[in-house]
């Protein structure tokens, strides 16, 4: 009797301002890139149908949040009910890399996830296309960080050069799907919620 609706995967993208969250999303969803920087206000919402492992189809609902501090008042509300959280840093910006951990903690504090230890994160190091001299975050440091946060998958990407974006999002989708199905079957439905009726009790308030 199930309605055979596609799975919906809520994916939230976090990271410092200007690391390329919106660009990554646009590259992934519409395969486009714009040189111009435009700060995201509040959040952007994009949708993409994904096919994983050949046959599993789902609809990915990407919530691209604003990195700027001043848009954060609503920000935490967006975390609720995410199936996967993507943490983005800029390989040319050491501060954005250091902040990955605090973004993750912030997410766990506000998202109210059932099991924080197993909640899927994916880390993306963006702007891989820039010349080597400008890169300040070493691959080694990134791998260490990913490992220390619980073997979080790490991808080095470039939204501009379209490097690794699809691969990264496929991993994100797979993780999200796993998370969304983790306890979907843990519920048995029956109509056992009996109501105790006391007919001689006080009159009910409803008019009819």
**Contact footprint for other proteins (CB under 8 A):** 1-8, 10, 42-43, 45-47, 49, 59, 61, 63, 73-74, 77-78, 80-83, 111-114, 179-180, 183-184, 187, 189, 191-197, 199, 202-204, 206-208
Nearest alpha carbon to residue 46 among 72, 28, 19, 67:
28
Nearest residue (CB) to other proteins, 43 versus 141: 43
Q: Please identify, using beta-carbon distances, which residue of 70 and 140 lies nearer to other proteins.
A: 70
- CA–CA distance, 152 with 193 (Å, rounded to integer): 42
To the nearest whole angstrom, how small is the minimum distance from the Cβ of residue 71 to other proteins?
A: 11
Residue 75 CB, shortest distance to other proteins, in Å, is 10
Q: Which is nearer to other proteins, 164 or 179 (CB)?
A: 179
> What is the number of other CB atoms lying within 10 angstroms of the CB of residue 172?
27
Q: To the nearest whole angstrom, how small is the minimum distance from the Cβ of residue 161 to other proteins?
A: 27
Minimum CB separation of residue 181 from other proteins in Å reads 9
SS3 assignment, position 13: strand
Question: Which residues, listed in sequence order, are joined to residue 124 by a DSSP beta bridge?
Answer: 88, 155
Q: How far apart are CA 60 and CA 86, in angstroms?
A: 13
Q: How far apart are CA 179 and CA 166, in angstroms?
A: 20
- 4 vs 140 by CB, closer to other proteins: 4
> Pick from 135, 132, 153: which is nearest to 143 by CA?
153
């Amino acid at each position: 009797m199930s309605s055979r609706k596609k799975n919906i995967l809520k994916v939230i993208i976090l990271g410092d301002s200007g690391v390329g969250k919106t660009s990554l999303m646009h590259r992934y969803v519409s395969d486009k890139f714009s040189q111009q920087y435009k700060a995201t206000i509040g959040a952007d919402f994009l949708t993409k149908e994904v096919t994983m492992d050949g046959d599993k189809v789902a609809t990915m609902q990407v919530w691209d949040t604003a990195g700027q501090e001043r848009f954060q008042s609503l920000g935490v509300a967006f975390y609720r009910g995410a199936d996967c959280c993507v943490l983005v840093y800029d390989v040319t910006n050491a501060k954005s890399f250091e902040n990955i951990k605090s973004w993750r903690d912030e997410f766990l504090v506000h998202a109210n996830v059932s099991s924080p230890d197993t909640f899927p994160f994916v880390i993306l190091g963006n702007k891989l296309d820039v010349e080597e001299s400008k890169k300040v975050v070493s691959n080694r440091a990134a791998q260490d960080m990913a490992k220390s946060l619980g073997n979080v998958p790490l991808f080095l990407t470039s939204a501009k050069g379209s490097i690794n974006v699809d691969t990264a999002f496929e991993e994100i989708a797979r993780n999200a799907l796993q998370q969304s199905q983790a306890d979907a079957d843990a519920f048995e439905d029956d109509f056992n919620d009996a109501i105790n009726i006391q007919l001689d009790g006080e009159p009910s308030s409803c008019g009819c």
